[in-house]
Amino acid sequence: MKIKKENISTIICALIVGFTIVGKVFNSPQVIEQMDKLGFQEELLLLATIEIVALLLYVFPKTFNLGFFLLTAYYGGAIAVNLNSPLDTIPAIVFLTLIWILSYIRRPHLFLPDLVKNKD
């Protein structure tokens, strides 16, 4: 059984995003501290729910595009919220960069639509 690189990239992305979801759902002390500092401790469950929905949409092929754009918006928002504290911004930047790279591996035509048109 051959495993496709698209499936591997999806699994890796799910693990990356899942890592952040687990911290929120199980009230990791680091997550609680950071959310308290930002004033988002009350919205922790809501943020985890948004992340779960975006990840589920990302994983399924028919809703991949919507999930990709929702994850991009979510982590873009995380970067924007953390801009006043550069050290807290780095994880969101790394996660967003990895999501984009893994999404490119899964669906390159999302980023290069002209490339697909020229092949036909």
> 47-57, pLDDT tens digit by residue?
999 999 999 99
> 4-59, pLDDT tens digit by residue?
878 888 899 999 999 989 988 888 888 888 888 888 888 889 999 999 999 999 99
Nearest C-alpha neighbor of 88 from the set 41, 44, 31: 31
pTM: 0.85
For the residues 64-79, what does the mean pLDDT come to?
94
* Residue ranges per structural domain of the chain: 5-119
For the residues 107-115, what does the mean pLDDT come to?
78
Q: Of the given ranges (45-49, 73-77, 113-117), which has the lowest mean pLDDT?
A: 113-117
C-alpha torsion sign, points 77, 83, 85, 90:
positive
